[in-house]
A and B are shown apart, each in its own frame.
Chain A
Amino acid sequence: DAGITQSPRHKVTETGTPVTLRCHQTENHRYMYWYRQDPGHGLRLIHYSYGVKDTDKGEVSDGYSVSRSKTEDFLLTLESATSSQTSVYFCAISESLRGNNYGYTFGSGTRLTVV
């Protein structure tokens, strides 16, 4: 989506290896989020950030860490990838936590396969 890019778009990795996914925005939005999407579960929040160096856990944060050293970048790290982390990962941004002005804007996703 315009203003938000995720990299890589696809990745295959082996169990036990570390993996970092990147989200980059050009909108200067304060809030950034990482979601995972799995069939039958919809989107579930992993971590979110409300400013540089300010992050908090979502509902499925175990096995994941995040960092935000700049307004525009939000990194998601799987310290030691497991097969249960095979999923599609979406980054989102918003001006407000509630998204009441423009909702959340989503990136195109990263499809991660852990073998």
Chain B
Amino acid sequence: AQSVTQLGSHVSVSEGALVLLRCNYSSSVPPYLFWYVQYPNQGLQLLLKYTSAATLVKGINGFEAEFKKSETSFHLTKPSAHMSDAAEYFCAVTTKGGSEKLVFGKGMKLTVNP
């Protein structure tokens, strides 16, 4: 069965600093990978997705992620953090032929300090 691992539960950066949120996946077949963002007291919103086209995926709000098969990773980055980026971020995976439904990581809370 597929799974994703988000190590740690919280990351703190300064405004203007690089944001790097790590996600590693486990899958025996090619995966589809997603990043979602959840702002306080809201539902989840799709940031970006990888579905076997370009390995570098650009999403909303200046975020991007790179699929690296050799490292089984799909890390989320943003060059310069903004206060409005403070939220919880979830990595998710689905595969063809398995259960196929989205499986989420445990989430990573991002704090942006002024």
List the interface of chain A (C-beta within 8 A of B). Answer: 1, 33, 35, 40-45, 48, 58, 90, 92, 97-100, 102-109
Contact = CB atoms under 8 A, between A and B. Distances in A.
Interface residues of B, number: 24
A40 B41 CA distance: 17
A99 B90 CA distance: 15
Nearest to A31: B101
Contacts, number: 63
A54 B54 CA distance: 35
A100 B32 contact: yes
A98 B100 contact: yes
A48 B32 CA distance: 19
Decide if the interface of chain A is mainly helix, strand, loop or mixed.
loop
Contact of B101 (A40, A48, A108): A48
Given A45-B103, A104-B46, 5 more contacts: A1-B45, A42-B90, A98-B101, A99-B102, A108-B42
